[in-house]
Amino acid sequence: MSKQAVAFKTATSNIVRNQPSILAALNWEIRKAGNLWYWLATILFDAIGMFNGWDQYISYQEDFHAQGVTWSAVWGQAVLLPSMVFMPLLVAAFAAQVEANEHKGRNWQRLNASGTAGTAIVGKMLHGLLASFLTITIFEIEFILVGRLVGNFSLSELVPYFLRAFPMTLAVWAIMTLTQAIAVRTESFASTMSILLLLTLAGCAISVAAPSLALPYPLALITTASAVRDLGNIASASSFVASTVLAAVWVLISGLIFRRLAKKAV
């Protein structure tokens, strides 16, 4: 083997070794996020939704007993306000705060210059998935505690609500990724949140005025995934699959936009 070939092979090996792994990128995102306020706010605002759901159940308890309705009576009101307002705004604020810090040190410029932007994007999206899963897990735990400890509902009826955690997680992830993409362009927390606030309010207006049109709207994906607009379909396989596919499509679209804008970030 010639000296030139050996030198090229050595240089290539060094480049590969110096490339950060996706796991390292994920760990870095987890370490630098550290937004305790987000988790406390999530617990609090989910609790507000649970109170609304429990109040709904107590107010019409006799009617619900006569119909044999338990978990769904609480779920309807418990998920409505959080899915339409609280979760989208909190998720957006979480992602916007993390991404705003990237522009302070011109990190995207450095990542693009070093050829590691792609790895960073994957790490950020995986961190978004993890945060989305924990966000919905907190909601489900509070829902179970209210229904079981306060209402003494049967755990055997919980399966459809457990399954809804999957499309709801994807829906949160889609909003998280879309926020990351917008934040790359806007560069500041205030600008990103202004856009997401308008999008969230628009989603609320569409959900009220024309619920069917709100089904594919990205900031209404959590509401769609929870089946709160039609509780009769909470256990419907077709509804579950449709909301899962829709959320997954928005994750893909948002991820592609994120990648495209991040590659052009300076």
DSSP-derived 3-state class of residue 240: helix
**Tokens standing for 168?**
């709801």
pLDDT at 1: 47
In this structure, the number of other CB atoms found within 10 A of the CB of residue 8 comes to: 11
> Cα torsion for 89, 205, 227, 220, to the nearest 10°?
-40
pLDDT at 112: 79
pLDDT means over runs of 10, the chain (266 residues): 39 44 82 85 96 90 85 92 94 90 75 81 92 96 90 88 96 96 89 94 89 89 92 91 96 94 77
pLDDT at 32: 76
Centroid of chain to Cα 147: 24
Q: What does the pLDDT look like over 48-59, one tens digit per residue? A: 999 999 998 888
Q: 84-117: buried (b, 16+ CB within 10 Å) or exposed (e) per residue? A: bbbbbbbbbbbbbbbbbebbeeeebeebbeeebb
Q: Is the dihedral of CA 210, 211, 212, 213 positive or negative?
A: positive
Per-domain residue ranges of the chain: 21-264
Centroid of chain to Cα 79: 15
CA 135 to CA 38: how far, in whole Å?
A: 9
Q: What does the pLDDT look like over 179-233, one tens digit per residue? A: 999 998 887 899 999 999 999 999 899 988 888 888 899 999 999 999 998 888 8
What's 174-219 look like in SS3?
A: HHHHHHHHHHHHHCCHHHHHHHHHHHHHHHHHHHHHCHHHHCCCHH
Name which of 215, 201, 171 is nearest 84 in CA terms.
201
What angle is formed at CA 209 by the lines to CA 143 and CA 239, rounded to 5 degrees?
Answer: 50
**Tokens standing for 207?**
């959900």
pLDDT at 102: 77
Taking the model in full, what pTM does it have? 0.88
Half-sphere exposure for 211 (CA within 13 Å, toward CB): 8
- Calculate the alpha carbon distances from 193 to 68, 101, 115, 128, 189 in Å: 43, 14, 29, 17, 6
